[in-house]
Each structure stands twice: as C-alpha cells, then as structure tokens.
Amino acid sequence: MRKWWPVFLLIFLTPLAYLFNPDLIITPTLRNRGYENIVILIISGTVGTTEMLLWYLGWGGITGLILDWFKEDINFAKKIAGEMKRDGYIDGAKIFFTRKHRKLNEKADRLMQGLRVGSYFGFFWIGFWPTPGPRVIGDFICGTTRRKSAFFALCMGNFLKTAYLVFAWDKVFSWFGK
C-alpha cells in the first residue's frame, strides 16, 4: 500500500485545497483579522506554493506508479483495453486509475500543444490567471511530464497573482461596494 501514496495524497489534498484556498479563504480571513499585507502575502503565498508542490508531486507519483504497473504486468495494456479480465479488486483499481489518467493526459496533451507556443510564458500566465481551475491543469501537466522549469514558471505566476490580490484587495473589492 505504500506504493499508492500519490493516490492517497491527491485524495487527501482535494478537499484541503478548497477548505484552505489561499485566494478565497486564507487571504480574506487574515484581512478580516487585521493582519498586514506583507504577512498575508507570506502566509497565502507559502500555502499556495506548498499546495501546488504537493499537487505536482502527487501527479508525478501517479505517473510513476502507472509506469510501474506496466512493468509489473506484461498483460496490463490488454486489461486496460478490455481484451483480458482483471485479476481482483486491486487490479480493477489499477485499471480504473490508469484509464482516468489516460483521459486527463489526452486533454493535457491538447492543451500542451497550445502552450508550446508560449512555453514558460504560457505556464506563467496559467499561474497568474485569477481563477483556480487553470493552475490545476498546469500542475497536472508539469507533474505528469516532470517539467520542473515549467512548474517554476507556474509557481511564479501564482505567487505574483497572490501578491496582486493581497495588495489590490481593497481597491478591487471597493468597486463592488458602490
């Protein structure tokens, strides 16, 4: 079961990512408690970057786990294709995760074609984008391909987005109060 750590990490991380979202939960909570902007930036930026690192490690770990399954079972590809029966529940779980990973990977490959044009700037822009969805896709792409430099660009974009939100919070949300 120790080999399944990436699956457990991602299952554990999914609700935590929403409960402790740096932009939607941590920043407003710290702001309401009267913390200085620089303290909010350090806390929110650290939590956001740590979360992205854990997603990166989890996706990379799942990719390695799936590759190990192919090495362990010579007929694993036939089982995924449905040409052979699975051997119990564990085998069924492996096939399930591999099929889901393959579908996500196909979507990521299509996105990667568009990002190749901008490469690092594309990953920076995904990290800077103010909604949470694109960063998850960027994390998945960087984690499965193990592109550390693209992941660094993604984290830089995310940190600068967090800094913008922290320091421009009053100005942005004062428009909605009028």
Supply the pLDDT for residue 119.
77
Supply the pLDDT for residue 24.
87
Which segment, 2-11, 70-79, 93-102, 128-137, is predicted with the most confidence on average?
Answer: 2-11
Side chain identity, residue 53: L
Supply the pLDDT for residue 115.
63
- Taking 60 as the threshold, does the pLDDT of residue 118 lie above it? no
- Which pLDDT band holds residue 174 (cuts at 50, 70, 90)? low
Comparison of pLDDT for 175 and 162, the residue scoring more? 162
Comparison of pLDDT for 64 and 46, the residue scoring more? 46
- Which pLDDT band holds residue 169 (cuts at 50, 70, 90)? confident
- Which pLDDT band holds residue 173 (cuts at 50, 70, 90)? low
- Which pLDDT band holds residue 168 (cuts at 50, 70, 90)? confident
Rounded to the nearest integer, the mean pLDDT of the chain is: 83
Could you give the percent of the chain with pLDDT greater than 70? 88
Q: Which residues contact 118 (CB under 8 A, 6 or more apart)?
A: 125
- Taking 70 as the threshold, does the pLDDT of residue 113 lie above it? no
Mean pLDDT for 39-51 is 95
Supply the pLDDT for residue 156.
96
